[in-house]
Amino acid sequence: MKSEFGDATIITGKAISRRTMLRGFGAALALPYLDAMAPAFSLFGKSGSATGVHRFQTVYIPNGMAMPYWSPTGVGRSFELTPILEPLAPFKDQMLVLSGLRANWNIAHAGASGSFLTGIAQGGRNEIEILADVSVDQLLAREMGRDTQLASLELSMDAPANAGSCTANLSCVYTHTISWRSPTQPMPMEYNPRAVFERLFGDSGSTGRAAREARLREEASILDAVLDKLLGLRVELGPADRQLLDSYTEAIRDVERRIQRAEEQIDLELPEMAQPEGAPPVFEDHLELMQDLQVLALQADLTRVITFMMSKEQSARPYPQIGVPDAHHPLSHHNNNPQLVEKMSHINRYHAELFGKYLGKLAATPDGDGTLLDHMTILYGGGISNSTLHSGLNLPVLLLGGGAGRLSGGQHLVYNDEPTMANLLVTLMDKFDMPVDRIGESTGKLQIDGVSGI
C-alpha cells in the first residue's frame, strides 16, 4: 500500500499508522497525531538495563473476592497469609496488604473498574455518555513515557467491547478497561498477543538481534525519506502551515533520537521469542504469552507502565481445570452461601497462583543491581469486595514489589477510617516523585509506610 508521499511502507508500533499521519500533512495537519507519532519507533528507551528505574503495573481482578479467604489475620509484620494469598508466600517480604479502603464510585461492576485507577465518584449516566478522569497509570506514563518506545501498555485477557450497555445501563467501556487517557478517552485493552508483539517489536518475526537490526535499518531509511519530503513540502506552505509542519518535524527529530538510542542498545540480549500467531484458545497458554510479553517489554525498557486485566468485570469465564465449572460472574453472586463462597475462593486463589508465576519471572530477570521485581510497584486487586452485594467497602488490594527501595513490604496495614482508593493513588504518585494535589475524589494521602491500626 502506497503513501501519498512515496512508496515506502511505514512501520509503526502504534494503533494509528504513520501512513495515515503523512496523508494529513498537505491539508489538515492535525496536531493530536503528534502524540501517536513521537514514541512509535525506537526499540529501547534511555537505558536498556534501566538501573534504578521505578516501574508501575496494575493487575486487576474482577467480580469481587471471597473475602473470608482473602483478608489476612494479624496486623503489621505479624500477619498470616490466607488461602487466596498463600500462592504469593515467596514474595511476602515485598508484599503490602491494605485493608479497609473503600471504592470511590460504587455502582455495580461499572464503578468497580471505572474508578479503580481514576478515583472518580461518578461516571457516565447512560450507555452513550462516557466520562471518567485521567487514570494514575496514564499520569505516570506522561512523564515516564518520554524515555521509552511506548508510554504504556494496556492489556487484557478478554476481547474489547467499547460500545453498548454492559452493567447498570452504562457503557461497556467501564467494565472493559481501567485505563483512561483523559476524562472522555478510555484506553482500549489489547488481548491479542500477536498485536502486542507487533506493537513492541514490529512485524519482525522474532525478538532476535538480527530481526531488530533489520527493523532499525528499515525505520531509519523510512525516516530519511519522510524528512526529505517534509523539506520539499515546507516551501509550498504558508506561514501558519509552516509553523504546524515545524511541530511535526520536531516530533520526527524525537523519533531520530529514539532510533539512535535503540542502535546504542542493540547489544542487549533478549530471550528468543517468535511472533505469536494470535490468542491461544486455552486460557493458561494465552495468559503465559501475555505475561512473557510483559516481562520482555519491561526487560527491554520498551515501557515502564503496564495495566493488565486478568479478566473484565462481569466475566463469565468458567474454570473447570480447577474444579469450578461455574461461570465466574454468576458464581460471584453467591448470596453469602458458605459453599459457594468457598468455591469462589478457588477462582481467586487460582488468579493469585497465576500472578505468582508472573512475579517469579520478574524476580528471575536481572535488572541493574537487582531484579525487575525489585524495581517495580505492582498494584494487585479489584474494585469490589463482597461481590454478592457489589460492595465497595474493604477492597481487596495489595502492593507488591521492591518499589525501587520505596516500599516497605512484609506488612498488613489496616485502616479503620475507611479512606478511599483515590487516596492510595495520590500516595503512589508520591512514590514515583510525581506529586499531585488530588486524583479523582481523593481527600488526602494514604499512609503506607507506618504501622497498622491506622
DSSP for 338-384 reads HHHHHHHHHHHHHHHHHHHHHHHHHHTSEETTEETGGGEEEEEE-S-
Tell me the pLDDT band of 395, cut-offs 50, 70 and 90. Answer: very high
Give the up-direction half-sphere exposure of residue 116: CA atoms within 13 A in the CB hemisphere: 35
In this structure, the answer to whether residues 422 and 337 fall within a common structural domain is: yes
Mean pLDDT over each residue of the chain, to the nearest integer: 83
In this structure, the answer to whether residues 225 and 309 fall within a common structural domain is: no
Number of domains in the chain: 2
For the chain, report the end-to-end CA distance as a whole number of angstroms. 62
Lowest pLDDT segment from 157-171, 302-316, 380-394: 157-171
Q: What is the mean pLDDT of residues 178-207?
A: 87
pLDDT, residue 165, reads 83
In this structure, the answer to whether residues 92 and 152 fall within a common structural domain is: yes
- To which residue does cell 481514576 refer? 118
Kindly state the greatest CA–CA separation across the chain.
75
Specify the DSSP class assigned to residue 11: P
Q: Residue type for 34, please?
A: L
Question: Quick check: 354 pLDDT over 80?
Answer: yes
Q: Residue type for 140, please?
A: L
Structural domain includes residue 182: yes
Q: For position 419, which CATH number holds? A: 3.40.720.10
Helix, strand, or coil (residue 398): strand
In this structure, the answer to whether residues 232 and 332 fall within a common structural domain is: no
Lowest pLDDT segment from 1-5, 47-51, 438-442, 444-448: 1-5
Structural domain includes residue 445: no
Q: Residue type for 53, please?
A: V
Tell me the pLDDT band of 223, cut-offs 50, 70 and 90. Answer: low
In this structure, the answer to whether residues 214 and 336 fall within a common structural domain is: no
Structural domain includes residue 199: no
Structural domain includes residue 167: yes
**Percent of the chain residues past pLDDT 70, beyond the cut:** 76
Structural domain includes residue 447: no
pLDDT tens-digit readout, 240-295 = 777 767 765 665 565 555 555 555 555 666 778 888 888 999 999 999 999 999 99
In this structure, the answer to whether residues 148 and 252 fall within a common structural domain is: no
In this structure, the answer to whether residues 246 and 374 fall within a common structural domain is: no
What is the span of the domain harbouring residue 256?
1-37+209-269
Query: Which segments of 364-439 does DSSP mark as H helices, in order?
Result: 421-431
